[in-house]
Amino acid sequence: MSIRSILHPTDFSELSGVAFAHALRIALAAKSRLHLLHVSQHDTGGALAFPHARRLLVQWGLAEENTPPWEIADKLGIEVHNSSIKWQQPAQGIVGFLREHPCDLIVLATHGGDGVEHWLRGSVSETVSRRSSIPTLFVAPSARGFVSQISGDIALQRALVPVDFSPTPDKAIRAVQRMGRLLTGTDIVIHLLHVGRSAPAVPIASSSSTHLPPVMLRHGNVVKSIVDTAIEFEVDFIGMPTAGHHGVLDALRGSTTERVIRHAPCPVFAVPAR
């Protein structure tokens, strides 16, 4: 999972700040391009985007107040690009942007109420999901994130990956492993969970150099089991394999992934199987 370009649609509301911190911190670790797609009711031309990034970098002790973009790019190895789309047409704007600027990762705020949540629902998610197949990190302000908005510190030790017979989990496991190494420089602990009577076989190729534990079995409601296990093991994020033909948001409305995102105590990393 090579992250050369990250897309973060945002309305720069307080509720989307946690997701913004995660997008910026991952871009720093990957030394990648960060596209800030400003969702606004007014035409700002994206002018607000870079000052927000610089403000966080200053707060984290990585830049000075008046550091220009080109100096930040040279020093930190990242590029911050600004774009904007109209509030009334977010789905078309996001899909059109991804068509012109292919990205390796999307970071999305959820449960924003009057903010990003307003346009993440319904036809927006469905339209985007039908036309893209990109790993997506969903970050809710009410959940415990693994990036501190105040300091930029990373607290990432363990992840949970629910596995099933379909879609196959190997791609999601590898993506979770690589995300962990990218952000911490070492292997994180991965817990595997299956809700049902018998667990699917996990391909050996998925494990790479990391030892994977046996798949845990739980019974009952799938979403509740995933959320309860995430709480029990205090995981820092959940890696969800999603059906590749459904795209990045896995047909969010009514899907298992969408319901996990709603109730998860931590960020959810959705990885298309194809």
Predicted pLDDT at 48: 56
Closest CA to 234 of 177, 170, 191: 191
CA dihedral 21→22→27→30, nearest 10 degrees, is 140
Predicted pLDDT at 183: 96
Mean pLDDT throughout 84-102?
A: 75
Q: Which domains does the chain have, with CATH numbers?
A: 5-139 (3.40.50.620), 158-272 (3.40.50.620)
Alpha carbon distance 163, 85 (integer Å): 36
Give tens-digit pLDDT for 8-45.
988 777 778 899 999 999 999 999 999 988 766 665 55
Predicted pLDDT at 184: 96
Give tens-digit pLDDT for 174-183.
999 999 999 9
Most confident of 32-41, 236-245, 265-274: 265-274
Alpha carbon distance 24, 59 (integer Å): 13
Mean pLDDT throughout 251-259?
A: 60
The percentage of the chain sitting over the pLDDT mark of 90, rounded to a whole number, equals 42
